[in-house]
């Protein structure tokens, strides 16, 4: 799942009138920009607590292992956050590998391409964050300005259709593979029973002709062949008898 699709799913699942989900937020703008969070979830209703949750998306095990080796890179933005979590497809981030102070949200795909979001480990609340400065505020506003809901939804829909087409193609391949294996077995059974190797091209025509005659005439055809063979033998016998009485053409006659 692409990062943009994952963040859009996160926005769909947790975003409401009070929660603002902003993707690709830097720690600042201009020359002070050093790090970027994949997303921020900002709770804007005082009744629910005005909080910021940082989100890192990891699509593969390799991405996650790189994050573990360079955990300090998140600090530039995590310092402003009340919570921090990793968002990943199922199986990418084992629960026992989640660092202390982090949460884990998992993305799931079902056979029907329905995407689910599950909380595997709720993020604990961190120490009081660093107050937001103008650089970080500007980065949030700039990221929000770049976000176009219609573009994100179109991309999600296109990806969903790609998944469906891929599943349909996989099913066609499986079906044709089954048909091929069935045909190959039928040919092997025929060759074993008939003693005929149909892979020899020069014999195919003769095999086809004989099979056609057999299907058209059945046992009558072979009976006719036997009768004709018997008739031919009798004709040969008669001709042999005639030849035995043949006069000697070398004798002189008066």
239, 175: one domain: no
Question: How far is residue 23's CA from residue 127's CA, in Å, rounded to a whole number?
Answer: 23
Mean pLDDT of 71-92: 88
45, 166: one domain: no
| Residue environment code for 217-226, b if the CB has 16+ CB neighbours within 10 A, otherwise e | eeeeeeeeee
Residue 86: per-residue pLDDT:
92
pLDDT tens readout for residues 120-152: 888 888 888 889 999 999 998 988 888 765 555
The residue with greater pLDDT, 172 or 88, is 88
The residue with greater pLDDT, 69 or 217, is 69
- Averaged pLDDT of the chain: 79
160, 141: one domain: no
120, 63: one domain: yes
- Tokens encoding 62: 């390799």
The residue with greater pLDDT, 168 or 196, is 168
Is 227 part of a structural domain of the chain?
yes
The candidate with the shortest Cα–Cα distance to 4, out of 143, 102, 138, is: 143
Mean pLDDT of 34-56: 91
Torsion on CA atoms 160, 161, 164, 168, rounded to nearest 10: -160
92, 17: one domain: yes
- Residue % of the chain over a pLDDT of 90: 17
129, 156: one domain: no
Mean pLDDT of 94-114: 80
Residue 93: per-residue pLDDT:
92
Nearest-10 crossing angle of helices 201-217, 219-244: 100
Is 204 part of a structural domain of the chain?
no
Question: How far is residue 178's CA from residue 131's CA, in Å, rounded to a whole number?
Answer: 63
152, 113: one domain: no
Mean pLDDT of 219-230: 71
The residue with greater pLDDT, 231 or 207, is 231
The last residue of one of the domains, among 147, 171, 187, is 147
If you count them, how many residues does the chain have?
254
Q: Which domain holds residue 170?
A: 148-195
- Mapping DSSP onto H, E and C, the string for 144-172 reads HHHCCHHHHHHHHHHHHHHHHHHHHHHHH
pLDDT tens readout for residues 176-222: 888 888 877 877 777 777 666 766 644 556 666 666 766 666 666 66
Mean pLDDT of 22-39: 88
The residue with greater pLDDT, 98 or 190, is 98
64, 168: one domain: no
Is 94 part of a structural domain of the chain?
yes
Is 254 part of a structural domain of the chain?
no
The number of domains in the chain is 3
222, 117: one domain: no
């Amino acid at each position: 799942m692409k990062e943009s699709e994952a963040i859009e799913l996160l926005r769909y699942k947790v975003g409401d009138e009070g929660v603002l989900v902003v993707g690709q937020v830097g720690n600042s703008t201009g020359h002070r920009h050093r790090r970027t969070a994949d997303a921020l979830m900002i709770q804007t209703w005082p009744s629910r607590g005005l909080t910021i949750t940082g989100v890192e998306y990891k699509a593969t095990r390799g991405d996650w292992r790189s994050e573990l080796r360079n955990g300090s890179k998140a600090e530039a933005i995590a310092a402003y956050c009340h919570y921090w979590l990793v968002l990943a497809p199922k199986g990418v981030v084992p629960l026992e590998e989640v660092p202390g102070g982090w949460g884990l949200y998992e993305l799931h795909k079902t056979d029907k391409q329905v995407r689910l979001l599950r909380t595997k480990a709720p993020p604990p609340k961190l120490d009081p964050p660093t107050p937001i400065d103008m650089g970080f505020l500007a980065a949030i506003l700039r990221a929000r300005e770049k976000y176009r809901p219609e573009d994100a939804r179109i991309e999600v829909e296109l990806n969903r259709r790609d998944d469906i087409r891929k599943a349909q193609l996989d099913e066609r391949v499986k079906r044709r593979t089954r048909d091929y294996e069935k045909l190959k077995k039928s040919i092997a059974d025929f060759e074993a029973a008939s003693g005929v190797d149909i892979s020899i091209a020069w014999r195919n025509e003769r095999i086809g002709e004989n099979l056609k005659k057999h299907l058209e005439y059945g046992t009558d055809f072979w009976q006719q062949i036997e009768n004709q063979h018997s008739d031919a033998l009798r004709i040969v016998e008669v001709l042999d008898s005639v030849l035995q009485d043949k006069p000697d053409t070398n004798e002189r006659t008066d």
